[in-house]
Amino acid sequence: MPQAKIRSHRRFWAALALLAVCSVCLALFWGFWQQWSWPKPAILTQLRLPRTLLAFCTGSLLSLAGVQMQAALRNPLADPYILGTASGAGVFALAAVLMSWPVWAIQAAGMTGAIVATILVLWINLRRPDPLRTLLVGVGLAAGFSALITLMLSLSPSQQLNSLLFWLMGDLSSASSPVWLVPLTLATLFLAWRQARVLDVLSLGLTKASTLGLDARRSLLVTLAFAALLTGIAVSLAGPIGFVGLLIPHILRLWHGSLHQELVPASALLGGSFLLLADTLAQHLFAPYQLPVGAVTALAGAPWLIWLLWQRREVAHGC
């Protein structure tokens, strides 16, 4: 490998690591420069650290799911919610909220809804797995679940409407002590990294993947199921936070290439940092009011993605 490429590779990973460290420090120690004193240990351990872990792990899970969805469906606009996973989780979670269930039960209901939506999509595509067919079925299922969500919102009591809307836009305020989420995220990262070569082959299309010796249809279903599982975990914990799984893989592909052996861990690192920074801004930008973190990710991500795609267009026309 040429020395220039080695240096570029090292700078890339150093930049990602530095961004992750800065985002964690900012989330934990925000505001100390105003009073020139460190936050109390109880605030760090009981409030800020759990939310920091939840935000970083959720962003990593969504980014990993986005990478796999885009590779499996061969669609750069595919995101973790394209199969209706988030809408299914939303229907079940909102039903739990309306019945005044505790937080853990709401999260379990959201996970159940995500699993139900995924099973429906994969069952419909079981006989003839095809990326385009899967995409269309997922869009149709998501539209149906979204209609149910709209109906539930219109019929819900006015005193609960604000909390329901806040959850639908992404809510990390219910963080308790998600220590178990850290090893789970690391385990899913390892499994996704082990499947990096499969993602490289799947991104070529089912026909070419089959000619290269891969059981393409089985690999497609397994990849979609795994990505939907990651999405379900993230949505059940924090609600449907948009733009993370769509934006992060795009940035890294334009910045560093499409080799999934590096794209997978880089997406987990950058996705966690991005969501953590967005949540920190959502908490403190208009304090004492808190913004839904999904609104911040959309406001930050949409112009950035449009600019990146415009730059790519300019380069293509220049060539």
Please tell me which residue, 61 or 29, carries the higher pLDDT value. 61
Q: What is the pLDDT of residues 232-241, one digit of tens each?
A: 889 888 888 9
Taking the C-alpha atoms of residue 27 and residue 166, their distance in angstroms, rounded to an integer, is 21
pLDDT class of 135 with cuts at 50, 70, 90: confident
Does the pLDDT of residue 1 top 60, yes or no? no
Predicted local distance difference test score (pLDDT) of residue 260: 92
Lowest mean pLDDT across 24-28, 35-39, 238-242, 270-274: 35-39
Average pLDDT over residues 259-263: 92
- Among the residue ranges 41-45, 101-105, 151-155, 190-194, the one predicted with the least confidence is 41-45
CA angle 114, 115, 121 (to 5 degrees): 90
Quick one: pLDDT at residue 312? 58
Q: Domain 41-318 falls in which CATH fold?
A: ABC transporter involved in vitamin B12 uptake, BtuC (1.10.3470)
**Given the structure tokens 């935000």, which residue do they identify?**
55
Amino acid at 85: T
Query: What's the mean pLDDT in 252-281?
Result: 92
Q: Using alpha carbons only, what angle is made at residue 223 by residues 219 and 228, rounded to the nearest 5 degrees?
A: 150
pLDDT at 15: 92
Structure tokens at 249: 């893989």
pLDDT band at 317 (very low <50, low <70, confident <90, very high): very low
- The predicted-structure confidence for 147-198, as pLDDT tens digits, reads as follows 998 888 888 887 777 777 877 888 787 656 667 889 999 999 999 999 999 9
Is the bond preceding 288 in cis, omega lying within 30 degrees of 0? Answer: yes
Q: Are 64 and 271 in contact (CB under 8 A)?
A: yes
pLDDT tops 50 at residue 27: yes
Q: Which residues contact 291 (CB under 8 A, 6 or more apart)?
A: 281, 282, 285
pLDDT (0 to 100) of residue 316: 43
Task: Give every CB contact of residue 11 below 8 A, 6+ residues apart in sequence.
Answer: none
271-288 tens-digit pLDDT:
999 999 999 999 888 877
Contact 179/45 with Cβ under 8 angstroms?
no
Q: Is 254 helix (H, G, I), strand (E, B) or coil?
A: helix
pLDDT of 304 reads 76
Which long-range contacts link 147-151 to residues 24+ away (Cβ below 8 Å)?
148/91, 149/87, 149/90, 149/91, 149/94
Contact criterion met (CB below 8 Å) for 283 and 170: no
Q: To the nearest whole number, what is the mean pLDDT of the chain?
A: 84
pLDDT band of residue 315 (cuts 50, 70, 90) is very low
According to the model, what pLDDT value does residue 275 have? 95
* pLDDT for 311: 65
Check: CB of residue 58 under 8 Å from CB of residue 297: no
- For residue 172, give the amino acid letter: L
pLDDT category at 36 given cuts 50, 70, 90 is: low
Residue type, 264: V
- Longest CA span, the chain: 64
Contact by Cβ (8 Å): 56, 269: no
- pTM of model > 0.75: yes
pLDDT at 309: 67
Residues 6 or more apart whose Cβ sits within 8 Å of residue 305: 243, 246, 247, 250
Residues above pLDDT 90, as percent of the chain? 26
